[in-house]
Structure 1
Amino acid sequence: MELRHLRYFIAVAEEGSVTLAAERRLFTSQPSLSRQLKDLEDEVGTQLMVRSPKGIELTPAGRAFLEHARLALAQVDAARDAARRAGPSTTTFALGFLTGEEVAWMGKAMKLLRTELPRIEVTISSQHSPYLAEGLVQGKLDAAFLRAEENMPELEFIPVSREPLRIIMPSDHPLAESEQVDIKDIANEVFIGLSDVATPLRRTVERYLADNGLDIQPTHRVDNLTQAMSLVSSTRGVALLPSYAEAFLPWSVTSRHLAGETPSVQLCLGYRRSSQSPILRYFLSRIAEISEVPEGEVLDDWAGSHRPHKA
């Protein structure tokens, strides 16, 4: 006699129908379930249920068997739960990524965690940078790859990458004929700007334009890469985006390097200063293995109050 036979019997007894038990609870075929019940009766050595106009009814032997079957399954479930409680616990580590950065950083991060800590259950969140920062502050995330957000004294930011800006434009745009584009050449173009959900990137772009004597008011502002690509293609406008955006360009959109000194925006690993997570501490101790920024590099001027912490 197997546990599945007990489960089948209980399901049919409670539903009062082989067909309903098969469809609603056991997700098996009615003929197969009938055979399993016949095998159970053969092993018990007596008839446990009979068909009636009202459906399946238990015999006196069936009613007695039902009580013990329920007790047996309850004891099995209790044994399973006790074993799980006594076994090694699984630690959850919540990791966030600025939307689009998963392509470059998720594999690297997971390798650090899973090589030495195979029992970690890692949960992944993909969001705009401000929402990731808020998740860190609230304790919903343990660490996140994001921009260094202002006015977040609870958080520490470690630079892991510097992403140079690229100019994004339609593939058949006249400016695409050159390998490099002088930023002043976009003065009369439709310009796709960034919304406040990308504050660090927006400030970098605006500062770069101002440093080059350009006072450009965006025709549109976008929250994410998908919106940027769509508007560049549909309006035949141009945008300044970090180099990681090149991995997501559709055929109708292309990118070019900027002539002269190219500005960049930092991607950081952020975490809550007060966190006591041993997994986070382990992760921080190895972050230099995947970082593309020399250890100890200071953050951009506008976020200068947040200096990188040596893990």
Structure 2
Amino acid sequence: MELRHLRYFIAVAEEGSLTLAAEKRLHTAQPSLSRQIRDLEYEVGVPLLLRSARGIELTAAGKAFLDHARQSVTEAEAAVEAARRAAEPDKPVFSMGFLTGMEVEWLPIASRILRDELPNIEIRVVSQYSPQLAEDLQRGKLDVAFLRNEQKQNVEYRVVASEPLVVVLPSDHRLAAEHEIDPRDLVGEIFIGMSDIPHVLRGVIDGYFAKLGLDIKPTHVIDNFAMAISLVASTRGVCLLPAYAENFLSWSVVSRPLKGESPTIDLMLGYNNLNTSPLLRLFLTRMENQAVTPAR
């Protein structure tokens, strides 16, 4: 059994289709993928997949196998990353990830925390969606990341900031004249909602409206705050975003606080608890000992 067999099986299980897994994820021919899956099932000794008119479903054995397959692939990728880092002992690398837009506020803070080590280390920085950052932490590609609370095995989180959500709307919108916006006034407006990618933010927004008993359904859904701001300007819609997005508003878009108790969303510092890097331990310790909430 080879790692490629596990990757093929995971792709099929997640896509629910041999065709989609072959074309979208693996870029291989579907007959070849089917043959690889049959070889895997032969080696395991039990059927892992059920093929039906609805697509591919996992057997009980397949469900049990999937968890272990994911863990094996993750550990293999982490081992490769660790080996690559060990090959450059003279210049340790500390890799940091930021939820897109957060690097503006948090990279200076993170750099200040590591200022004594900067002459001797290489810092690598990436900006990405929160789910991808969590996956990179799990796979050992990042030492730390500033992101949302994504559920990933071996990834632990510490809250570093909690920020309110604000209303983002066109600067000449009728509600822009208000100092605070009553959430009930958003009913009937074109509402820009969140997709499955920023699912933590979507959950906060949905929970807020449900708590108030407001029936507000998205007219459009987006993946990130930049898309949200663009759609607010182009459709004359409104949306709820974390307050840090105020740093990126164009002249045609403004933000206003919500009236009453505003919903909040946590920014987390994530790391892999299997990472034994001394730099990571130093960074976590210094984060605990400093006031790190960015000024607004």
Tell me the TM-score normalised to structure 1 length: 0.64
Residue in 2 that maps onto 1:3: none
Distance 2:157 2:173 in 1: 38
Which AA in structure 2 matches 1:228? A
Which AA in structure 1 matches 2:270? G
Which AA in structure 1 matches 2:224? N
Distance 2:117 2:90 in 1: 16
Residue in 2 that maps onto 1:291: 292
Distance 1:261 1:120 in 2: 44
How many angstroms does 1:88 deviate by? 7.8
CA contact (8 A) 1:180 1:256 kept: yes
In the alignment, does 2:110 pair up with 1:109?
Answer: yes
1:234-293 deviation per Cα after TM superposition (whole angstroms, max 9, x unaligned): 110000000000000000000001000011000010000111000000000011214339
In the alignment, does 2:249 pair up with 1:245?
Answer: no
CA contact (8 A) 1:114 1:120 kept: no
CA contact (8 A) 2:109 2:292 kept: no
- Give 3-state SS (helix, strand or coil) of 2:105's partner: helix
1:19-46 deviation per Cα after TM superposition (whole angstroms, max 9, x unaligned): xxxxxxxxxxxxxxxxxxxxxxxxxxxx
In the alignment, does 2:138 pair up with 1:137?
Answer: yes
Residue in 1 that maps onto 2:208: 208
- Give 3-state SS (helix, strand or coil) of 2:215's partner: coil
Residue in 1 that maps onto 2:36: none
Stretches of structure 1 lacking an aligned partner (at least 5 in a row) = 1-86, 294-311
1:116-157 deviation per Cα after TM superposition (whole angstroms, max 9, x unaligned): 44211000010000000000000000100000112x131100
Identity %: 50
Which AA in structure 2 matches 1:119? N
Distance 1:90 1:186 in 2: 53
Residue in 1 that maps onto 2:189: 189
How many angstroms does 1:217 deviate by? 1.3
Stretches of structure 2 lacking an aligned partner (at least 5 in a row) = 1-87
Residue in 2 that maps onto 1:30: none
How many angstroms does 1:115 deviate by? 2.6
CA RMSD, 1 decimal: 1.5
Residue in 1 that maps onto 2:84: none
Which AA in structure 1 matches 2:241? L
CA contact (8 A) 1:113 1:120 kept: no
Residue in 1 that maps onto 2:150: 149
In the alignment, does 2:220 pair up with 1:220?
Answer: yes
- Shift in alpha-carbon separation, 1:148–1:88, aligned structure 2, 3 A: closer
Which AA in structure 2 matches 1:200? V
Residue in 2 that maps onto 1:32: none
- Shift in alpha-carbon separation, 1:192–1:88, aligned structure 2, 3 A: closer
CA contact (8 A) 1:95 1:141 kept: yes
Aligned residues: 206
Q: Displaced runs of 4+ in structure 1, greater than 3 A?
A: 290-293
Which AA in structure 2 matches 1:108? I
CA contact (8 A) 1:191 1:220 kept: yes
1:197-220 deviation per Cα after TM superposition (whole angstroms, max 9, x unaligned): 111111001100111111211010
Distance 1:89 1:114 in 2: 18
- Give 3-state SS (helix, strand or coil) of 2:114's partner: helix
Residue in 1 that maps onto 2:259: 259
Residue in 2 that maps onto 1:97: 98
- Give 3-state SS (helix, strand or coil) of 1:275's partner: coil
Distance 1:88 1:138 in 2: 20
Which AA in structure 2 matches 1:114? R
Which AA in structure 2 matches 1:168? V
CA contact (8 A) 1:95 1:142 kept: yes
In the alignment, does 2:165 pair up with 1:165?
Answer: yes
Distance 2:214 2:119 in 1: 52
CA contact (8 A) 1:133 1:270 kept: yes
Which AA in structure 2 matches 1:275? N
